[in-house]
Structure 1
């Protein structure tokens, strides 16, 4: 079905929904690279005007990636909840934006609606939103998850403590762990990106983190961010796995490039649940705009729509944690701070609308047109928008992955200026250990013997 929009004496024609969504997207380098971006600001406005008049039901009838060719499309359409969708089923995309910004769209209403929304609906409405709209809508959405700590509660901001080391050196990891814990980081997860994918080394890191958590009674969860197949092997060998990690994308081809499909993810989820180590939510997913284009599996779609489709994959597995690693892939996909900031707000809003516990790795690579002031801006915007968690990286500089993120101190800044506190179980532990006062604020100094007891012998 073609879509037409007249502006003055000029008529713009978009041959299908996929093209319309792409042309309506805010400017980004990845869509230019893919050849799907609007040719001018005038064409982009025309596409947004045409998109505003598209009925939401049309997004159920016209798949942007063919149903017969893609298991993610089949997942989206086969699991659509028509009853949950009914309250907004009469609206156009533009009308849906107005409804989302109105008083009727309460947190409770949005939670009930989430199973009835498709990623394409979330992506479409986000293309009609200003940044403030994305923030306002996302802030209404609360998605609470639990393992050993409770994440996503109002007035709380969690962090992933990320003690990466370029050689997986235990002493280096211990130093970062100590630094992070003393500064109130780690309530979302203590997660290590391993330097290699050797299953024995992955198992050793899992045992190291488990020993720290068990020895000190830390109400958090651990994760080694290796490929899901390695985690399955580690579980078969008896490794103490809390969370199963995997990077995912919005098309079957993208996930194939990551070495996964829905069946493999389901197998890993079942294996982790069988261990019975937490309260039932055992999956941790990371996403990022541009992955489908990088994999050559974008089907002519824009990167933000495909990013939203990745959230359908995540939603299928009831994850504890999801985060967009928003600037990690590089300036080929998100060129500068403006594009990174916009993408971070889009991802957070779309994920929350779809019922996901969204965090964000506020990050950029060193060849992008961005710096730490830009990261501060996005971090603050996401805090106002109600992000579930952010990253805690020593000095905001990941020495293993070689990119810039947010530090332990950055998370403290956000908690202080917005009056936020750590996850309640973790905050109580910090106070019990003498690391924080009764307001959850870090205290100076290291309690006697804790550094030596963190990892004995290291």
Structure 2
């Protein structure tokens, strides 16, 4: 395993595989602040050159957090299909990139090969790809999952309806939900981030979302994004339920601990919601991630934030989720500084999620102290639509009044569907058409009029 190269009369030598991965990453403010990123553009190019010549086996055998020390590493490594791994282990990372981008390589071949790839391998491949490479490769991979409906089918761009409220007022949540539905939002999930993380509050929001779903016979899923332990306790009361169980996850056991969870807890939640939840399909988990969370909890083990993010996807696929999404700019400029870094991170995350076999979405978002605006969000959304993102967020005017950050609006989702000839999930589309909300590939005459639900 060669960890050095010479460029323009200078030798660049890297300490280990972890160092190569970090230095080969595109510029991110989080890596710079953590002291793990490349110190110059030339060092970054040198790291990419070294990484390109490493093999799948090199990255597999050198995880960024040791197997003996980390439950996430153990899940990622133990889930690998050894037969598939045996067919690719001697390929270089550059050869894997070329094979993925080859016209003859289809989604089925990519999904079979992915079963032999650890998260470090997938991260490594993404680091030697350009933005257009990531878009093209991501668009080739088709992943489906089923809860009450199926996400990921041909020409579908789904959306999460996010009816957040500053104090979880049920009437306010109901009003926001009906408005979002009137714009064709909510086929991926109607999912609320609670302001109050208690069993009683979770049950109250479960009820209002479930009542709306059932009253109007909406073919979708519901979820309240409280802590996984709160949701399990709420479900065990027998007083209410939601279709999906949510949790934010991270790429190391120590970072999971900072979230108050562990891998055993996630397994328990998946089993509980499969056995006692109302969902029809086998996929009942919903995970959120975001580059930088491990750095923020001092649990990155000297690794770069994008590799740690990729490890989130390796953990997620163990639980066969219905939805995964990166909240790509939520951490702020300390981790993703500006539009260029935000764009790169979004494209990396969606491609890497797809190659892990995940139905991958993206919250195209930013905090108000980032040098980014809504035009940038719309540009990134358009790129992600071409990259085959499974779903995005729908918020009133793209403004979350509870979490206090900017995302994508109901109108943004409608526009990108129309522009790229994408549609809602088929059953949801039929439901919209019946109510005049969707017509001939775009919003219909009743779009934006929630009063139709009272007639």
TM-score (norm 1): 0.96
Aligned to 1:189: 189
Is the 1:182–1:442 Cα contact (8 Å) retained in structure 2?
Answer: no
Q: How does 1:194-205 map to 2 (within 5 A)?
A: 194-205=194-205
Deviations 1:377-404 (A, max 9, x none): 1100000000000000011000000000
The whole-number CA distance in structure 1 between the counterparts of 2:7 and 2:448 is 65
Aligned to 2:362: 360
C-alpha distance 70-445 of structure 1, shift in aligned 2 (>3 A): closer
Instruction: State which of 308, 317, 320 in structure 2 corresponds to 1:318.
Output: 320
Is the 1:184–1:442 Cα contact (8 Å) retained in structure 2?
Answer: no
Deviations 1:416-454 (A, max 9, x none): 00001100000011112332225453323678964447x
Post-superposition offset of 1:108? 1.2
Is the 1:183–1:442 Cα contact (8 Å) retained in structure 2?
Answer: no
1:244 aligns with 2:245: yes
C-alpha distance 126-363 of structure 1, shift in aligned 2 (>3 A): same
Aligned to 1:381: 383
Post-superposition offset of 1:311? 0.5
Q: How does 1:262-301 map to 2 (within 5 A)?
A: 262-275=263-276, 277=278, 278-301=280-303
Q: How does 1:43-54 map to 2 (within 5 A)?
A: 43-54=43-54
Aligned to 1:404: 406
The whole-number CA distance in structure 2 between the counterparts of 1:448 and 1:280 is 32
The whole-number CA distance in structure 2 between the counterparts of 1:34 and 1:377 is 29
Is the 2:393–2:409 Cα contact (8 Å) retained in structure 1?
Answer: yes
The whole-number CA distance in structure 2 between the counterparts of 1:56 and 1:114 is 12
1:163 aligns with 2:167: no
Is the 1:72–1:313 Cα contact (8 Å) retained in structure 2?
Answer: yes
Q: The residue matched to 1:381 in structure 2 has which SS? A: helix
Aligned to 2:225: 225
Q: The residue matched to 2:438 in structure 1 has which SS? A: coil
The whole-number CA distance in structure 2 between the counterparts of 1:4 and 1:437 is 58
Aligned to 2:58: 58
Deviations 1:1-55 (A, max 9, x none): 7711111211011010000100000001000111101111111111000111101
Is the 1:430–1:440 Cα contact (8 Å) retained in structure 2?
Answer: no
Is the 2:183–2:448 Cα contact (8 Å) retained in structure 1?
Answer: no
The whole-number CA distance in structure 2 between the counterparts of 1:150 and 1:26 is 34
Aligned to 1:456: none
Is the 1:427–1:440 Cα contact (8 Å) retained in structure 2?
Answer: no
Aligned to 1:85: 85
Q: The residue matched to 2:295 in structure 1 has which SS? A: helix
The whole-number CA distance in structure 1 between the counterparts of 2:148 and 2:445 is 24
Is the 1:222–1:242 Cα contact (8 Å) retained in structure 2?
Answer: yes
The whole-number CA distance in structure 2 between the counterparts of 1:162 and 1:445 is 18
Aligned to 1:256: 257
1:346 aligns with 2:366: no
TM-score (norm 2): 0.97
Q: How does 1:4-43 map to 2 (within 5 A)?
A: 4-43=4-43
Unaligned runs of 5+ in 1: 454-458
Query: How many residues align structurally?
Result: 453
The whole-number CA distance in structure 1 between the counterparts of 2:61 and 2:222 is 41
Post-superposition offset of 1:199? 1.0
C-alpha distance 4-409 of structure 1, shift in aligned 2 (>3 A): same
Aligned to 1:138: 138
Unaligned runs of 5+ in 2: none
Aligned to 1:212: 212
Is the 2:4–2:12 Cα contact (8 Å) retained in structure 1?
Answer: yes
Post-superposition offset of 1:267? 0.5
C-alpha distance 405-206 of structure 1, shift in aligned 2 (>3 A): same
Post-superposition offset of 1:87? 3.9
Q: The residue matched to 1:390 in structure 2 has which SS? A: strand
Q: The residue matched to 1:46 in structure 2 has which SS? A: helix
Q: The residue matched to 1:57 in structure 2 has which SS? A: helix
